[in-house]
Structure 1
Amino acid sequence: MTEIAAARVRELNLYRQYFDLVAAGQKTTEVRVKYPHLADITEGDVIRFRIKGTDESCDVLVKQVTEYPNFEALLDGEGPANVNPTATREEQLANIRNIYPPEKEALGALAIKIELLTP
């Protein structure tokens, strides 16, 4: 049985700019709000990232999940280059907060360390 067949596979949408970084193996930490449906994501799970409205996808293996109280703590703890090697910490913080408003950030932030499975 392959690793993917044995793992729990979750599908999540990703914006094109971040999808391209994941698919190239350059983005090794995904940032998500700790929504109830993601609270049980764990090491060994597989995430299939998709670009909404397309057939494009790539699979990653979850290596580690770390919870943070907010996005600033997450970027400081994980290192901005692991989240997005093409943007500064300040740019990333602005981009993340543009996606997730303060009431979402208040739920907590998840840093999901990932490893590309399908190039």
Structure 2
Amino acid sequence: MSSTSRIRELNLYRQYFDLVAASVKTIEVRVRYPRLADLSSGDVIRFRIKGTDETCVVEVKRVTEYPDFEALLDGEGPSNINPTATRDEQLANIRAIYPPEKEALGALAIEICLPA
């Protein structure tokens, strides 16, 4: 982490947090909210399980925009997003979190890694 890194705080559900902490989830999916528009390589994300003090810090390697979640899953490969679920399960899970009006903002694939 460089001294110029920006740190973002984002909440994460326990099931996904555990995959990130184990380094098996390398792509985080988010809606392209305005507050994430300037997220870029070299930034730092501190994931927190909502309502707890548990955190996991990761570095952002790359951010890629997609028009929707289906394009993102096809472009990034479902196993990089959640190796424990099929593509169709993941699409249903993501859409359960983000309704259609949020998906319409666009999707972000955030490639992450644990700091060396």
- In 1: Cα distance, 2:22 partner to 2:3 partner: 23
Q: CA deviation at 1:117?
A: 2.2
Aligned residue among 80, 83, 87 for 2:81: 83
Instruction: Give 5+ residue unaligned stretches, structure 2.
Output: none
1: CA distance, partners of 2:57 / 2:90: 23
Q: CA RMSD in A?
A: 1.0
1:54 is displaced (CA, Å) by 0.6
Displacement of 1:36: 0.5
Indicate which of 17, 20, 40 corresponds to 2:18. Answer: 20
In the alignment, the residues of structure 2 paired with residue 90 and residue 56 of structure 1 have an alpha-carbon distance, to the nearest angstrom, of 29
- Which of 1, 5, 9 is 2:7 aligned to? 9
Could you list the per-position Cα deviations for residues 58-114 of structure 1 after superposition, in whole angstroms to 9, with x for gaps in the alignment?
100000000000000000000000000000000000000000000000000000000
**Matching residue of 1:94:** 92
Amino acid at match of 1:65: V
Relative to the length of structure 2, the TM-score reads: 0.97
Distance 2:83 2:38 in 1: 27
Q: How do 1:34-45 residues align onto structure 2 when only pairs under 5 Å count?
A: 34-45=32-43
Matched AA of 2:108:
L
Once the two structures are TM-superposed, the CA of residue 4 in structure 1 deviates from its matched residue by 5.1
Q: Identity, % of aligned pairs?
A: 77
2:63 maps to a residue whose letter is V
CA contact (8 A) 1:4 1:46 kept: no
Could you tell me which runs of 5 or more consecutive residues in structure 1 were left unpaired when the two chains were aligned: none
Equivalent residue for 1:50, pick from 48, 51, 55 = 48
